[in-house]
Amino acid sequence: MTRSARFGAVVCSLGLTLDAGAAAAQDVRSAAPRAPKEYTIEQFLDTVAIRGASFSADESRILFSSDRTGIWNVYSVPVAGGNWTPVTTSTTESTYAVSYFPNDDRMLFTRDQGGNELNHLYVRTPEGQERDLTPGERLKASFAGWTPDGAAFYVASNERDQRFFDLYRYDATTYQRTLVYQNDQGYTPAAVSGDGRWVALAKPNTTNDSDIYIWDASTKASTHISMHQGQANYAVATFDPASQYLYYLTDESSEFTRVRRYALADRRHEDVQQANWDIVFTSFSHKGRYCITGINEDGRVAISVIETATGRPISLPAVPQGGVRAVAIARSETKLAFYVNADRAPSDLHVLQIGTGTLTS
């Protein structure tokens, strides 16, 4: 992919079929080895990287990041394909897209200061005005998700105590914020339920052992939900859209990491999905119509999208020379953005119209 203004590229493969008679007469032992394809250093340096995908409120555009100018900046592109529109134009600070606002054309992005890795969260208006939502000199902040109605969003910040990340809720109109969870135990806020009552907390112990706690905003109490013997990893995946379950990943008593869920009402645990490989993530679309799962198949993450009501898989385009990665479903649940990545080509962004199979590249 060169530094052009195109949106993605369709990955194709060409095959060569030898005539059967000629092939039979050919002495394969004398065939010369196929010469590897060579690239110039200019071609290598001209490769463009892109990442992230967030649909605009009207789902006509996608927000993403790219280093096409030599430094990471934020861009938007029509869902139907077309030229990239620069959103940020920094020449010194790497800037990464976070999300469009769900109900209007404002955008969230993140960047640090001079490479200090102390990222702040910024909002940008359609008129180009920028505002640091997490001001301060010695803090690190990150976006932690939207409320279902898009009226507020969550931010994790260590401004109070550099050792720990607290969780704040920001009003999407006024940017007024309230402290939701004060972290005094060294947990990591990992997910918030749609109804705002529950916060899932991760606690790493060692590289091979970790735990999950659930904090209840109504009682201010935490519950350890991953009690186990020996070493086992527990990782937060997501809450379901109805705020009835916490889905999580664990390798306890299993060769491979599987998906389980914890019922918030009666504290039951049950298996949801397992495979002959590690399941690395699972998530839901906005209203829960689809479940997206990634499985690490021998070093390559295979993505599946399942219709939750029927268990029917959604057909993704065949990718002969790469794999589908980083799936994002629009809030209307009618469009699916994803990347195609291969070991010989950088990622390209595509949009699939769910139901019609129409693909934009």
Of 62, 56, 134, nearest to 337 by C-alpha is 62
Paired with 30 in beta bridges are none
196 near 202, Cβ under 8 Å? Answer: no
What does 201-246 look like in DSSP terms, one character per residue? EEEEEETTEEEEEEEETTTTEEEE----SS---EEEEEE-TTSSEE
Q: How far is CA 353 from the centre of its chain?
A: 19
State which H helix or E strand residue 326 sits in.
Answer: strand 323-329
User: What letters, b where the CB count within 10 A reaches 16 and e where it falls short, cover 117-147?
Assistant: ebbbbbbbeeeeeeeebbeeeebbbbbbbbb
Amino acid at 11: V
Quote the pTM value.
0.84
Instruction: List the chain pLDDT tens, one digit each, 361 residues.
Output: 333 333 333 222 223 222 333 333 344 344 556 666 665 655 555 577 888 999 999 999 999 999 999 999 999 999 988 999 999 999 999 999 999 999 999 999 999 988 899 999 999 999 999 999 999 999 999 999 999 999 999 999 999 999 999 999 999 999 999 999 999 999 999 999 999 999 999 999 999 999 999 999 999 999 999 999 999 999 999 999 999 999 999 999 999 999 999 999 999 999 999 999 999 999 999 999 999 999 998 877 888 889 999 999 988 776 656 666 778 999 999 998 988 776 666 678 888 888 777 777 6
